[in-house]
Amino acid sequence: MRKQLTFLFAFAIFSSYLFTSCQKTPVIDEAEVTRIISTLASDEMEGRRTFTPGIEKAAEFIAGEFEKIGLEYMDGLSSYQQKFSMYSLRQESAEVSINGKAVASENLLVSVSGETFELKDVAEADIITVPAGTNFQAAFNEARRATGKRLVLVDPSHKNLFVRYKGFFNRAARAARVMELDNDNGMVMVVTEATSVKSVDIKVTNSVEENSLANVGAKISGKRANEVVVFSGHYDHLGIRGAEGDSIFNGANDDASGITAVLTLARYFKDSGKKPERTILFVAFTAEEMGGFGSQYFSKQLNPDEIVAMFNIEMIGKPAVSGPNTAWITGFDKSDFGSLLQKAVEGTEYEFYADPYPAQNLFYRSDNATLARLGVPAHTISTTPIDVDPDYHKASDEVSTLDMAHMTNTIKAISAAAVRIISGVDTPTRVDPTGLN
């Protein structure tokens, strides 16, 4: 009882501090939290997999909620949906010869991002050699991350590893998707005795299919248009898998819980009635589970230097290992965002901690990382016991496994913790992208 009172009291102080001229009393309540998450994680949404009708239903639901709350569209848009395209590539042919000798397909791994890829002039290529005794994995990753026309010569001593990579890669490449078609970008990797290239003749062709997808976002304009605070989560999940038993992956915790927080916070800050000092964006990202494409597209539609903080919210439906009324923040040492949040809720019953699973690299495993790589203090807030959670990425990730009271308290704590940043009192330090993976 006493703890609850302490919390409500502190909460009242925060609320009156920011919202002196309230029109409605903003509330974050459990019934509303339950309504939203139950809708998003219902079987009707079919697991919200990107490029399926289920995720489109979810997008319409989220847009409908933004509309009811009375939020603005994000800049440059005429609806709440931020639509874009991705291109799915399927290899139709690949002919490669080096120094006049054709390369057998078993010695060939091709990854190109356009409809065609041609290389006939050695001077146009970056030639990368992977000699015997070097770290194949490191060389592979480096070559993949590079851009332009890359020809990688792999010493035959790496053949076993090469074959394994080719196997993984071909499975993934069946659904290879790129955000931009580029006939001048591609990697051709060849197992060969050759260590230098005098002549080359490469022609790869792909079939291309265009698919559309969308983030769903909304805005509350602040007095400062070019200082933006972002609340985000991802609304996509894994869809329907397998045919037996419960085949719908509802993704209640991952990440219907984060989207529920985003919508509830949007209602909360809008109902405060007062124009905030800083502009606030509420964003539901698509295609997080496929590789973070939604946040990548979003990050290119605005100036990341204007984002002063990003509260990315992932899996807050189950109490954290650190106990009830606690949440943790990824990348605690990458900016002072986490310690500002800690200070902001001091004296309440809620506490924020550093991510207790550093070995899991969670800072890099959600949409915050895309913005952090651009210098934004972008962190993920979570409470999930990810190391022991039997429902993580399973069909059993259902609302019935979640604790609604905990979730509601966590959203309240985030709202309280964000007040000083939204009002311009606190500004987190920037992330140094050079120190990131």
Write b or e for each residue in 232-243: b if 16 or more Cβ atoms lie within 10 A of its Cβ, otherwise e.
Answer: bbbbbbbbbeee
Least separation, in Å, of the C-beta of 6 and Zn ion?
32
State the Cα–Cα distance between residues 78 and 56, nearest whole angstrom: 17
Q: Does 255 bind Zn ion (CB under 5 A)?
A: yes
Least separation, in Å, of the C-beta of 254 and Zn ion?
4
- Beta strands 239-240 and 248-249 are antiparallel
Least separation, in Å, of the C-beta of 126 and Zn ion?
35
Q: For residue 296, what are its two tokens? A: 């990548």
Residue closer to Zn ion, measured from CB, 255 or 398: 255
- CB count, 10 Å around CB of 189? 26
Interacting span for Zn ion (CB under 5 A) from 248-256, 263-271, 299-307, 357-365: 248-256
Is residue 130 within 8 A of residue 139, CB to CB? The reply is yes
Subset of 99-128 contacting Zn ion (CB under 5 A): none
Q: Does 367 bind Zn ion (CB under 5 A)?
A: no
Residue closer to Zn ion, measured from CB, 314 or 355: 314
DSSP element (H, E) containing 379? strand 378-382
State the Cα–Cα distance between residues 135 and 37, nearest whole angstrom: 46
Residue closer to Zn ion, measured from CB, 223 or 393: 393
Give the bridge partners for 94, in sequence order.
204
Least separation, in Å, of the C-beta of 259 and Zn ion?
10
Applying CB under 5 A, the site for Zn ion has a residue count of 3
Q: What value, to the nearest 5°, has the Cα angle with vertex 18 and ends 14 and 22?
A: 110
State the Cα–Cα distance between residues 388 and 347, nearest whole angstrom: 30
Least separation, in Å, of the C-beta of 392 and Zn ion?
9
Least separation, in Å, of the C-beta of 18 and Zn ion?
29
Interacting span for Zn ion (CB under 5 A) from 253-261, 299-307, 339-347, 411-419: 253-261
Nearest residue to 88 via CA among 178, 184, 186: 178
Residue owning tokens 């939290």 = 33
DSSP element (H, E) containing 265? helix 257-271
Least separation, in Å, of the C-beta of 385 and Zn ion?
14
Least separation, in Å, of the C-beta of 237 and Zn ion?
8
State the Cα–Cα distance between residues 347 and 109, nearest whole angstrom: 58
State the Cα–Cα distance between residues 258 and 313, nearest whole angstrom: 5
Residue closer to Zn ion, measured from CB, 279 or 312: 312
Residue closer to Zn ion, measured from CB, 256 or 419: 256
Interacting span for Zn ion (CB under 5 A) from 239-247, 252-260, 271-279, 352-360: 252-260
- Angle of the 404-422 helix axis to the 2-18 helix axis, nearest 10: 30
State the Cα–Cα distance between residues 321 and 404, nearest whole angstrom: 17
Residue closer to Zn ion, measured from CB, 155 or 254: 254
State the Cα–Cα distance between residues 255 and 315, nearest whole angstrom: 6
Q: Does 254 bind Zn ion (CB under 5 A)?
A: yes
Residue closer to Zn ion, measured from CB, 36 or 69: 36
Residue closer to Zn ion, measured from CB, 48 or 150: 48
Residue closer to Zn ion, measured from CB, 255 or 355: 255
Is residue 223 within 8 A of residue 280, CB to CB? The reply is no
Residue closer to Zn ion, measured from CB, 254 or 349: 254
State the Cα–Cα distance between residues 78 and 308, nearest whole angstrom: 25
Least separation, in Å, of the C-beta of 190 and Zn ion?
37
Contacts 24+ apart (CB under 8 A), 1-4: 3/325, 3/349, 4/349
DSSP element (H, E) containing 392? none
Interacting span for Zn ion (CB under 5 A) from 30-38, 249-257, 266-274, 424-432: 249-257
Subset of 375-394 contacting Zn ion (CB under 5 A): none
Tell me the residue type at 261.
A
Interacting span for Zn ion (CB under 5 A) from 48-56, 251-259, 262-270, 368-376: 251-259
Residue closer to Zn ion, measured from CB, 46 or 314: 314
Binding mask 295-334 toward Zn ion (x if CB under 5 A, else -) reads -------------------x--------------------
Binding mask 77-96 toward Zn ion (x if CB under 5 A, else -) reads --------------------
* Size (the chain), residues: 437
Least separation, in Å, of the C-beta of 105 and Zn ion?
37
Least separation, in Å, of the C-beta of 246 and Zn ion?
19
Residues that bind Zn ion (CB under 5 A): 254-255, 314
